[in-house]
Amino acid sequence: MVKRKLVVLTGAGMSAESGISTFRDSGGLWEQYPVMQVASHTGWERDPELVNRFYNERRKQLLTCAPNKGHLLLAQMEQDWDVSIITQNVDDLHEKAGSTHVIHLHGELMKVTSSLHPDDPQLIETMDEARWEVQPHERAKDGSLLRPYIVFFEEAVPKISEAAQTTSTADVFVIIGTSLNVYPAAGLIHYAPHGIPIYLIDPKEVATPPDLNVTFIQSGASEGVARLIELLKG
């Protein structure tokens, strides 16, 4: 039997229960660091050592975090659904939970790459517990400065076309833990086929287009995914 297609868009709220610092909420990282200083192309050009230190700290934090129940339940849903996850998060918690098809829109924290050719697969390196820090002036394989494999502000989002195409194949579209304020990711909701069920999981109210068939589950990621599974069974 062919499995139905479930496409899930996740944001910072997906990983908050795992202890990952969010960026935009009160007390988030943007209150501690000027965003354009540590997460923009201009900031990288101005002070690459500061940017690498910032992402070294994020990697160190990630190594202490584990997938939460929401991550694990999404991975388990692959038993009954053809699941694709599109995430705005740069952590690897979906993969650690067992999800097999994950599109990272904004890059991957545990990877580093060339500052000249950041999207060249041959120049992307994966970090781990034994090596999670980029050292000052450390070089990529092509001799350029090693940089985080992160889509900085002021840079294009190379995987947005793949994400839009994947969304267009959905039988059910789910949004978890994102305010739908960050583009181009927020625009993916408009690529969902007309009339399909859309579920939005978030503890806070999120504005959605009035013409879409959106069911709001007001809760955190773990409780919300459990509730989603029950609703899909019904």
Residues designated as active site: 106
SS (H, E, C) 161-223: HHHHHHHCCCCEEEEECCCCCCCCHHHHHHHCCCCCCEEEECCCCCCCCCCCCEEEECCCHHH
Joined tokens for residue 38: 């540590």
Joined tokens for residue 105: 């829109």
Nearest to 149 by CA among 93, 94, 111, 203: 111
Report which residue type is found at 188.
L
